[in-house]
Amino acid sequence: MTKIAVLGTGVVGDTIGSKLIELGHQVMMGSRTTENEKAQAFLAKHNGNAKTGTFADAAAFGEIIFNCTSGGGSLDALQLAGENNLKDKILVDLANPLDFSQGMPPSLSFVNTNSLGEEIQRAFPQVKVVKTLNTLWCGLMVNPGMIHGGDHNIFVCGNDAAAKETVKDILLSFGWIDKNILDLGDITKARGTEMYLPLWLSIYGSTNNGAFNIKIVS
């Protein structure tokens, strides 16, 4: 079992952190301040099986870091986590660079020739960034079997092959099926998975059901 930091106290961080605890990992949830109410609720819910701390505390604790902060605040949160605390570790980036400044639907802060995944990798060159799980509702991230017998696709990308293998093992432990975990290549491939978000939102808007995913058929 692994020491894992979950940065972010929203529904994504709570969902990922709770699943990791269920799987027997040691989890510290990191937030901007130690008094964060959602982090305290997470702590209470897990009855001593969870830890909480600042972003820096959590990053120092974790051997693997999950970025579950909202995309607009991810770079700031990671700066607070601290380069030295993140160095040489695997950073699993689940965030999308949503920009709500122009109203709904959100646009993306980085597109085309850039992505949040790449921005993070550039800001922290000694961190092994693996982008994954940002293409679906968090309930399905940790419970793919909830729909279609778990037979649908998830993407991973990143520059470090060994880090991607470690993350794939975590995905398998979440219930993802090996053949459905598609390695898209290096971290530049984060562009495609982030730019899928507007289509995801359109499908959600049209079907009124967020518990869906895509399956590649050929």
CB atoms under 10 Å from CB of 136, counted, come to: 20
Residue 199 binds its own copies, judged by CB under 8 A:
yes
Q: For residue 191, state whether it binds its own copies (rule: CB under 8 A).
A: yes
Q: Does 104 bind its own copies (CB under 8 A)?
A: no
Q: Applying CB under 8 A, does 218 fall inside the site for its own copies?
A: yes
| CA–CA separation, 51 and 170 (whole Å) | 20
By CB under 8 A, residue 185 contacts its own copies: yes
Rule CB under 8 A: say whether 116 interacts with its own copies: no
From the list 112, 162, 178, 179, which residue makes contact with its own copies (rule: CB under 8 A)? 112
Both tokens of 86, joined, read 């993140």
Does 195 engage in binding with its own copies (CB under 8 A)? yes
Beta strand 26-31 with 3-7 is: parallel
Q: Phi and psi (nearest 5°) for 132?
A: -165, 170
State the DSSP code for 24: T
Binding-site member from 151, 165, 169, 172 for its own copies (CB under 8 A)? 151
27 contact partners, CB below 8 Å, separation of at least 6: 4, 5, 6, 17, 20, 21, 46, 49, 50, 51
Q: Which of 23, 43, 147, 181 binds its own copies (CB under 8 A)?
A: 147
The residue ranges that bind its own copies (CB under 8 A) are: 102, 107-108, 111-113, 147-148, 151-152, 155, 157, 182-185, 189, 191-193, 195-203, 205-207, 209, 211-218
